[in-house]
Amino acid sequence: MKHSFKYYKITYTLILSNSIIYLLTALLSKNLIDIDVDTLVKMGAIFGPYTVIDAQWWRLGTAMFLHGGMTHLLMNMVSLYLIGRGFEEYFDTKSYITIYIFSGILGSLVSLYIHPESVGVGASGAIFGVFGGLAGFFLAHRDHIQEHTKSFMKDFTIIIGINLVIGLSIPSVDMSAHIGGLVVGLMGGYVISKNLKLIWMYALAMIILMIVLMRYLPKQYAQIFF
């Protein structure tokens, strides 16, 4: 696999962006290893009362670039480095960004539904979307892929399994965002792999789903908090 920036510009740009934002967050938090919750909320973490009740939906985007600590950041960036480069081998720039963003945002919306009072940050939902998108590609081409690609798919399945096990074993990890991102990415990867022109149909479907959830959540929160 190639290593040059020009071959994997999206993956490396995302890693660099997340790292720079983490350093800024650490500076504001005055702690390089663990970021305090107040700083994360001020920087744009998802938090039910603010995101849903106060309609601060912009947090769905900012939370994707925030991390709660150095371990959190490293785990996510290593995962993105490993899977993101493979993703760029099979998908173009538009498809990568589309799947990444929708997976991250919809993963966060699922998290808000499951955990209305929790503070959520991290690129995990988007990264699991990349995992899912690559799985969708192999699923779409399962009858035509070569033997070595089938072997890679088995290894890929193992990686997904390990990440899910780790997520289930660590209480602070939000598995709802992971699963939400994974499903959104899987759908995108499959549809786009079948026909690149269908990317607009996929994007429209995801936007409609976002709107539905953003209209439903305030009603759910009203029952919880009022």
What angle (nearest 5°) sits at the alpha carbon of residue 206, between those of residues 181 and 83? Answer: 35
CB 129 within 8 A of CB 100: yes
- 141: domain CATH number? 1.20.1540.10
Structure tokens at 195: 């026909």
pLDDT in tens, the chain (226 residues): 556 777 899 999 999 999 999 999 999 999 999 999 999 999 999 999 999 999 999 999 999 999 999 988 998 898 899 889 989 989 999 999 999 999 999 999 999 999 998 899 999 999 999 999 998 998 888 777 766 566 666 666 776 776 666 666 655 567 888 899 999 999 999 999 999 999 999 999 999 999 999 999 999 998 887 7
> In terms of residue numbers, what domain contains 28?
9-225
Give just the sign of the alpha carbon dihedral 211, 216, 217, 222. positive
Tell me if 73 sits within 8 A of 11, measured CB to CB. Answer: no
160 in any annotated domain: yes
Task: Determine how many CB atoms are found less than 10 A away from the CB of residue 153.
Answer: 17
Residue 1 lies in a domain: no
Q: Is residue 115 part of a domain?
A: yes
Q: Could you tell me if residue 147 is inside a domain?
A: yes
Main-chain dihedrals φ then ψ at residue 119, nearest 5 degrees: -90, 125
The answer as to whether 87 is a domain residue is: yes
Give dist(CA 18, CA 205) in Å, integer: 28
Contact 137, 83 (CB under 8 A): no
Looking at the domain assignment, is residue 48 inside a domain? Answer: yes
Amino acid 173 reads V
Active site members: 124, 178
In a domain, residue 4? The reply is: no
Give me 28's structure tokens: 């504001």
In a domain, 2, yes or no: no
Amino acid, res. 20: I
Count of domains forming the chain: 1
Centre a 10 Å sphere on the Cβ of residue 183 and count the other Cβ atoms it contains: 17
Amino acid in the structure at residue 178: H
Residue 139 is predicted with a pLDDT of: 86
CB atoms within 10 A of CB 10: 19
Radius of gyration of the chain, Cα coordinates, nearest whole angstrom? 17
- In this structure, what DSSP letter does residue 69 have? B
| Closest to 140 in 3D by CA, of 83, 193, 203 | 193
Residue 148: its pLDDT value, please?
A: 57
Does this model's pTM top 0.75? My answer is: yes
Closest among 146, 120, 224, 132 to 185, alpha carbons compared: 132
Task: Please tell me the predicted confidence (pLDDT) of residue 6.
Answer: 75
